[in-house]
Structure 1
Amino acid sequence: MEDALVRVVNLCKVYNPGENEVRALDHVDLEIHKGEFVAIIGQSGSGKSTFMNMLGCLDVPTSGKYYLNGTDVSTMKDNDLSVVRNKEIGFIFQGFNLIANLTALENVELPLIYRGIDRKTRRKLAVESLKKVGLEKRMDHKPNEMSGGQQQRVAIARAIAARPPVILADEPTGNLDSASSREIMEILKGMHRSGETLILITHDNGIAAQARRVVRIMDGKIESDTINEEFVEEA
């Protein structure tokens, strides 16, 4: 088997070291390979948000190693981590994080500017990714002219435009009604079918059950790591 895209070895995150310490992550090991669709599920306080911050290179562990796409990122400084985040990870957040005075197209283009991609290529990638999420008719609309589900689709387009190796979705349906949630999950499943590597962070069993593999986290440890037998690889 090829090297894991994400490999976490003996990862710990400790807050307030000493007698009142909190072990948000407690000796976690995990491997995720290219093309996997993994849900990481846990209740509030389980350590899943801390784990998301580690996987997304938004924070560094107290101890242990994290290899992302073959590179040890666990001891990197902030500047280096921001470069890794920009190149290796596409983020989808619960709150969309769109810029209000920019159109859908401009929102998707923005991270590509930071990557130094020329204007013509940038426009082409942004248009392609908006088409993939079914928003070709909404490219010139600003966030306040779109529904929550449409805004989240713009956020997905922004995450995939630069074709990063890993897509990290943090509670991507958390702010949406049930119909929009279903739409977003269908888009994510479609991305998995086209070969994207997806890591979905959620507290919702119903959302987690739609992933190919489910990792449960509790008290900072991985409680179970199972393949979803009911997962359907639709054409």
Structure 2
Amino acid sequence: MEELVRIKNMYKIYNPGEDEVRALDGVDITIHEGEYVAIIGQSGSGKSTLMNMLGCLDVPTSGSYYLHNQDVSQMKDNDLAQIRNKEIGFIFQGFNLIANLDAIGNVELPLIYRGISKGARQKIAKQALSIVGLEKRMKHKPSEMSGGQQQRVAVARAIAAKPPVILADEPTGNLDTKTTKEIMEILRELHRAGRTVIVITHDDEIAEQAARVIKLKDGKIVADYMNQQGEE
């Protein structure tokens, strides 16, 4: 497997000086294409900060982040936006759907920014919604769908353009047990299809479903292991 993510000696420091907070404190991570990784930590561990770095939503105080052999750690906002659009599919806990758009419209939205034609966008969106089992809900707006269905739309939006990385931030945090299992099964199927899946979570049960688990505490990696019981 080729190297997809390489983070080297990364620091994120807030309030430098006497009262500084080291949200990330010398983090080193390498993730290869096709891996299924869970990054776990409790509140204050640094996992949300690391998610922001992995997703090119922020830049580190120091250290490097190579994504597909390209150093993105010191890029400007416009360049980071292009990287996010092309390289990363986001799945958030809060779904982040547009209320006045139907399912197809929500999935199409990031494809518009890629300059994909209307006909091609609709075809891609329909395929993505079919993958997550929403063939019959494509014209429904978020208010007309359950929380689980809304999260499926969010997954479809994330995978539609086939980005190299699927980055899921607490993807089941607002879902019941049954729906959580369904969403996690979709993520497993994406991994089996060759996608790189990175899940950020505080939940041990969610983390243990991944093939690899990285544990954070106080901004440092305290464990990084292959999970025998997780996804192969």
- Same fold judged by TM-score > 0.5? yes
Q: Which residue of 2 aligns with 1:163?
A: 162
SS of the residue corresponding to residue 164 of structure 1 reads: coil
Task: Write out aligned runs for 1:78-93 (5 A).
Answer: 78-93=77-92
Q: Which residue of 2 aligns with 1:209?
A: 208
CA distance in 2, matches of 1:14, 1:192: 33
Q: Give unmatched runs, 5+ long, in structure 2.
A: none
Q: What is the letter of the counterpart of residue 58 of structure 2?
A: D
Deviations 1:90-144 (Å, cap 9, x if unpaired)? 0000000000110000000010001101111111110000000000000000001
Deviations 1:169-204 (Å, cap 9, x if unpaired)? 000000001111010000000000000000000000
Q: What is the letter of the counterpart of residue 158 of structure 1?
A: R
Q: What is the letter of the counterpart of residue 182 of structure 1?
A: K
Task: Write out aligned runs for 1:170-181 (5 A).
Answer: 170-181=169-180
How much has 1:77 moved relative to structure 2? 0.7
TM-score scaled to structure 1, two decimals?
0.97
CA distance in 2, matches of 1:137, 1:69: 37
Q: Which residue of 2 aligns with 1:182?
A: 181
How much has 1:230 moved relative to structure 2? 1.1
Q: Considering only aligned residues, what root-mean-square deviation do their CA atoms show, in Å?
A: 0.7
Q: What is the letter of the counterpart of residue 112 of structure 2?
A: I
Aligned residues: 232
CA distance in 2, matches of 1:225, 1:232: 15
TM-score scaled to structure 2, two decimals?
0.99
How much has 1:232 moved relative to structure 2? 4.6
SS of the residue corresponding to residue 149 of structure 1 reads: helix
How much has 1:69 moved relative to structure 2? 1.2
Q: Which residue of 2 aligns with 1:107?
A: 106
CA distance in 2, matches of 1:44, 1:232: 25
SS of the residue corresponding to residue 100 of structure 2 reads: coil
CA distance in 2, matches of 1:5, 1:123: 29
How much has 1:70 moved relative to structure 2? 1.2
**Divergent runs of 4+, >6 A:** none
SS of the residue corresponding to residue 126 of structure 2 reads: helix
1:67 matched to 2:66? The reply is: yes
How much has 1:231 moved relative to structure 2? 2.1
**Sequence identity percentage:** 71
CA contact under 8 A between 2:39 and 2:207: conserved in structure 1? yes
Q: Give unmatched runs, 5+ long, in structure 1.
A: none
